[in-house]
Amino acid sequence: MTKRIQHWFTLLVSVLMLSFTLSAFASETADDKTRSERLGESSVQGELAGFAGADYWRAVRDGQEGYTTSKSPEHGVLISVPGQAWFILKEKWMSPLGALAIFGSIGLVVLAYFTIGPLRLSKAKTGRKIQRWSLVDRTLHWSMAFTFLSLAVTGLALVYGKHFIKPIIPRDIWAMFIYGAKQYHNYVGPLFAILLFTVMIKWWRKSLFTKVDIKWFMKMGGMVGKHKGSHPSADFSNGGEKALFWLLIFCGVFIIFSGFVLDFPLFDQTRRDMELSNLVHMLASLVLICGFVFHIYVGLVGIEASLEGMVTGEVDETWAKEHHDIWYEKVKDLPENQPKSETSSKLDDKS
Amino acid sequence: MASMKFLCDSKRCIECNGCVTACKNENDDALEWGIQRRRVVTLNDGEPGESSISVACMHCTDAPCMAVCPADCFERTEDGIVLHDKDLCIGCGYCLFACPFGAPQFPKQDAFGERGKMDKCTFCAGGPNVEDGSAEEKEKYGANRIAEGKLPMCASLCSTKALLAGDASKISDVYAERVVARGAKNAGWASTADLSYDASKPQES
């Protein structure tokens, strides 16, 4: 009895299993059929529409990697479409908008010169000199200024040169010029990085924001409109100088790291990495160039007697009192800032 | 005004790399170590649905390399071939970023991995601003078969005639004939199923 039940049970299980397997087979073949039909259809359509449309083509467009004997980087990828996005962003958006931003900034400072006008000292210079920038500070500033400006010029030449310079100069000169611009940019770039980190270490402490700076910003630095000439208080650096410093550091760090990725193609960085770096590099540089158009305006003509501090290292007592009153109070009693009478006529000769 | 193009029939390409060798040999004077202008990429290598395609510069009608080059060193010939001037090339790599086919390559033998003058397929048409067939052209750009009235070496030597080169309308006619008149389904860049021909099996219509 038990044997018969066992026998029947085995048979039942076998039948069940068989039917399961068969149905699985059946559905598999059905799936295969529809898939091949679908593929056949799409590839015929693909062939009719040139070469596009099939699943295969889609996989290729997604950058599927295959095998190749070529040892060049990324050569296993048949087609890599994202470069298109980079090229449209760079050529169709960044280039024209960047030109607009730079010319816009220059236009604004020209406008400021004619409408607001430079900020003159309200009292006459006393002739008493206050030490402001040491030789190290000034060297750092002017090395930075030189590398920054020359890198900006060569960088802009690499972006816009083909539109504005190439058409007006002979081919050989253009070849030399644009090659020189790239080489200069690539080799002086790292120098800028070193200078920027030195500047950061040297000047970060005097650039920390305080409550005084909020008031300075509320009065628009005493440069514009009804506040013009009101001279809000400031320590060694005023709010504007501090903001510019941190803008330089912030954008500078982006510029340096993206520039590093672009400058040294030694670390297996992909095309995508370099495209992204290129966009970051251009955007951050653009912000800095526009920012420094205003810095240069303020330093050269916007505020009377600003330049001499960075050239000679000393500023006039009146200038110090008006623009950096808190700092003036701190340093006016220092021995090196006492009126030069007979002891050091050497410095007097300069003024 | 022709419009020169390459076309690779993935049903016929057998990954023999003959085109690569032909190109390398023909343009040898201009090619630095490690650079091959043409390559064969095999997708699904060793799996069902394996297929190979030979790829080099596709001489795009709207070439991205041309649009991004800061030195503006590219030009399109009247035959629709995209050539670049190595005197103007500064080795910035922008064309490499923009090119979907990975065609531009750079010799990297200078300090800090600095890129040298870009090199890419010239459709065996030499380069601009040099005398056709001159030693200078051969040294800088390789062969100029177009000036001799010949097609690129890679396509000329393709043993299965998978790689076609020539005027776009001509090669698309050749291809259309294969597909329509000779029944080569899925012959373009659009095939996954049934790549190998097995005479012992009945063929699907």
B119 found inside a domain: yes
B197 found inside a domain: no
Mean residue pLDDT across chain A? 80
With bands split at pLDDT 50, 70 and 90, how would you rate the model's confidence at B12? confident
pLDDT, tens only, B40-50: 999 888 887 78
Check if the beta carbon of residue A199 is closer than 8 Å to that of residue A253.
no
Q: Choose, out of B87, B94, B101, B119, the residue to mutate when testing the contact with A (most A CBs < 10 Å).
A: B94
- Strand extents, DSSP E, A185-245: none
Q: How many angstroms separate the CA of residue A83 from the nearest CA in chain B? A: 4
Task: Identify the pLDDT of residue A266.
Answer: 85
With bands split at pLDDT 50, 70 and 90, how would you rate the model's confidence at A337? confident
**Domain total of chain B:** 1
B146 found inside a domain: yes
Across the interface, whether the CB atoms of A72 and B72 are under 8 A apart is answered no
Answer whether residue A228 shows pLDDT above 60.
yes
pLDDT, tens only, A275-323: 999 999 999 999 999 999 999 998 888 888 788 888 888 888 888 888 8
Q: Choose, out of B21, B44, B65, B189, the residue to mutate when testing the contact with A (most A CBs < 10 Å).
A: B189
Task: Identify the pLDDT of residue A351.
Answer: 44
Task: Identify the pLDDT of residue A2.
Answer: 57
CATH number at residue B168: 3.30.70.20
pLDDT, tens only, A14-66: 554 544 444 444 444 444 444 444 444 444 444 433 333 356 667 777 788 88
Answer whether residue B181 shows pLDDT above 80.
no
Give the Cα separation of A284 and A115 in Å (integer). 30
Task: Identify the pLDDT of residue B186.
Answer: 59
Q: CA of B173: how far to CAs of A49, B7, B158, in Å?
A: 14, 11, 18
With bands split at pLDDT 50, 70 and 90, how would you rate the model's confidence at A5? low
End-to-end CA distance of chain A: 126
Cβ contacts of A171 on chain B, cutoff 8 Å = 87-88, 129
Q: CA of B162: how far to CAs of A16, A330, B34, B98, B187, in Å?
A: 52, 83, 25, 27, 9
Check if the beta carbon of residue A292 is closer than 8 Å to that of residue A148.
yes
Across the interface, whether the CB atoms of B191 and A162 are under 8 A apart is answered no
- Per-residue pLDDT, averaged over A215-226, amounts to 76
The larger pLDDT score, comparing residue A252 to residue A326, is at A252
Q: Which domains does chain A have, with CATH numbers?
A: 42-80 (no CATH), 83-132+204-350 (1.20.950.20)
Answer whether residue B197 shows pLDDT above 70.
no
B40 found inside a domain: yes
Using CB atoms, pick whichever of B35, B70, B186 lies closest to residue A161.
B70
Which of B191, B203, B150, B147 is closest to B51 using CA atoms?
B191
B195 found inside a domain: no
Secondary structure in 3-state letters for chain B: CCCEEEEECCCCCCCCCHHHHHHHHHCCCCCCCCCCCCEEEEECCCCCCCEEEEECCCCCCCCHHHHHCCCCCEEECCCCCEEECCCCCCCCCHHHHHCCCCCCECCCCCHHHCCCCCECCCCCECCCCCCCCCHHHHHHCCCECCCCCCCCHHHHHCCCCCEEEEEHHHHHHHHHHHHHHCCCCCCCCCCCCCCCCCCCCCCCC
With bands split at pLDDT 50, 70 and 90, how would you rate the model's confidence at A161? very high
Answer whether residue A336 shows pLDDT above 90.
no
Give A267's DSSP letter. S
Give the Cα separation of A97 and A93 in Å (integer). 6
Task: Identify the pLDDT of residue A23.
Answer: 46
Check if the beta carbon of residue B132 is closer than 8 Å to that of residue B122.
no
Domain limits at B113? 4-181
- Among A64-68, A206-210, B132-136, the range with the most confident prediction by mean pLDDT is B132-136
Cβ contacts of B88 on chain A, cutoff 8 Å = 171, 174-175, 178
- Per-residue pLDDT, averaged over B53-78, amounts to 92
Task: Identify the pLDDT of residue A29.
Answer: 43
A268/B contact by beta carbon, under 8 A: no
Check if the beta carbon of residue B91 is closer than 8 Å to that of residue B118.
yes
Give percent of chain A with pLDDT exceeding 70: 79
A39/B contact by beta carbon, under 8 A: yes
The larger pLDDT score, comparing residue B183 to residue B155, is at B155
CA angle A179, A254, A144 (to 5 degrees): 65
